[in-house]
Structure 1
């Protein structure tokens, strides 16, 4: 049997990572080159003439004298941790298929659990924001999903402690999955599905869903919609029309249950965003590390008070 080229790709070995980012100087140089490919330029006046204040590791513009650091305005801003620790965390999060918990991250990095938790949630937020920028296109399988819930009492959609989210998987012409988007919603309502579709689906795409009434809301987003009434039950899961979306739902749920002891429901969007980010970039595992570093440069600083707030967007 032929090996799956995506599954058996080499990725980035720990030896290759250490040779490229094993020292603080290597990490700083790479971050500088990624942030200013054409050389440093003042963010205020645009001047490219500057001097380095080595005592405080700052860059000062020769024209307006504005001072800025290598990490100012990025996700790494105000962090007391060295860049080599950040880069190692990014390596562990991108190269581990099923994710890595904050507790395991703290052990691997040799930092406190609280510091590892903040770092992980900042990086997961970056993953979510960057992944949400690219809408799905082509043929898209759509389904409604719930995470969590109590074991006793009311079951189904009315159960307390459940968090609903939309699962969508786009496929190519050969019927293979290309990208997915898992988005937490407040409820399965027509208006909310319309807003979600306008933000996450490319116009003229074909959406295939079951008979849930709210899915008709995607039609207002200028997409083609085909409804297939499944009737529920285990037999509906095996229908070929929803093969890949059901497969990805199962894979993500199993990975999350196996990796994380508990997930605060208000942070569920970030955990789902992490899996979507890695799945959508799985074709080049080796390059995923630098993709996340580049995304972190584009992400605004996130103090802890913002991290602990519930995610309000899809």
Structure 2
């Protein structure tokens, strides 16, 4: 959905409230007091009230917006921006776009959204064809430590990350200079080391057993076949 379509569908606070209400009703509401599942909409309090005991479940209750006083439109628009912006977006920029006076509430809102996105990401299991690779990212090194700094793999200045990319084949005939598959989803997991046992444990946690793995010939991936249906190695010879 592009920005124009988003604004057309959610032009004001009322439409955003209706959006969140529809999602909650489709998911189903269970009374926290008596367990009854039949409710009526209380427009004045923006809540679903239990038809049996009268217990009130607010629209924000049980969501990332709970206890927040920011408008629903802020939340929906910020979720849209964070989901659709490829290079990320700062809290200062979101504050500017929303026209909000204070920075802190916007930062807190975005922090909560990122946390929820992370929880949802953890529940996603890789399946189908997954390309596997490892990466190393520079991290902060405590200069006050007396421990000598290592170089290369195992260095205190690097964090090891297992990168898993789900790929789907592109429809139609393969074209020259074009990849035959497209990335659909990427998961990056920080791991304590690069051993094959760590790789297998991580993969079995985040991927289904029937997954097909594609990787290079690095030795840390040598035992991947134990936790996958198939392991395809693409060994690239060293440059002369």
**TM-score bucket (shorter structure):** 0.7 to 0.9
The residue correspondences of 1:46-65 to structure 2 (distance < 5 A) are: 46-50=36-40, 52=42, 54=44, 56-65=45-54
Taking a change above 3 Å as real, the CA distance of residues 121 and 231 of structure 1, as seen in their structure-2 partners, is farther
C-alpha contact (below 8 Å) 1:150/1:159 kept by paired residues: no
Q: Gapped runs of 5+ residues in structure 2? A: 142-148, 171-179
Matched with 1:171 is 167
Matched with 2:216 is 210
Give the SS at the match of 1:142: strand
Give the SS at the match of 2:110: helix
Matched with 1:133 is 123
Is the helix fraction higher in 1 or 2?
1
C-alpha contact (below 8 Å) 1:185/1:192 kept by paired residues: yes
CA shift for structure 1 position 39: 7.6
Counterparts of 2:26 and 2:116 in 1: how far apart (Å)? 21
Is the strand fraction higher in 1 or 2?
2
Matched with 1:67 is 56
Q: Gapped runs of 5+ residues in structure 1? A: 1-10, 237-314
Matched with 2:113 is 123
Give the SS at the match of 2:208: coil
Give the SS at the match of 2:204: helix
C-alpha contact (below 8 Å) 1:166/1:182 kept by paired residues: yes
The counterpart of 1:29, out of the listed 15, 18, 21, is 18
Counterparts of 2:27 and 2:138 in 1: how far apart (Å)? 48
CA shift for structure 1 position 165: 1.2
Say yes or no: does 1:99 pair with 2:120. no
The counterpart of 2:138, out of the listed 139, 145, 148, is 148
Cα RMSD after superposing both structures: 3.1
Say which structure, 1 or 2, has more relative contact order (CA 8 Å, 6+ apart): 1
Matched with 1:113 is 103
C-alpha contact (below 8 Å) 1:216/1:225 kept by paired residues: no
The residue correspondences of 1:122-271 to structure 2 (distance < 5 A) are: 122-149=112-139, 154-174=150-170, 175-179=180-184, 180-230=186-236
Taking a change above 3 Å as real, the CA distance of residues 64 and 113 of structure 1, as seen in their structure-2 partners, is same
Rg comparison, structure with higher value: 2
Counterparts of 1:158 and 1:13 in 2: how far apart (Å)? 44
Matched with 2:145 is none
The counterpart of 2:7, out of the listed 1, 14, 18, is 18
- 1:35-77 superposed Cα distances (whole Å, 9 cap, x missing partner): 10388653542241446272x4443313123221011011111
Counterparts of 1:203 and 1:221 in 2: how far apart (Å)? 6
The number of aligned residues is: 222
Taking a change above 3 Å as real, the CA distance of residues 142 and 51 of structure 1, as seen in their structure-2 partners, is closer
Matched with 1:78 is 67
C-alpha contact (below 8 Å) 2:91/2:106 kept by paired residues: yes
CA shift for structure 1 position 217: 4.5
Taking a change above 3 Å as real, the CA distance of residues 191 and 102 of structure 1, as seen in their structure-2 partners, is farther
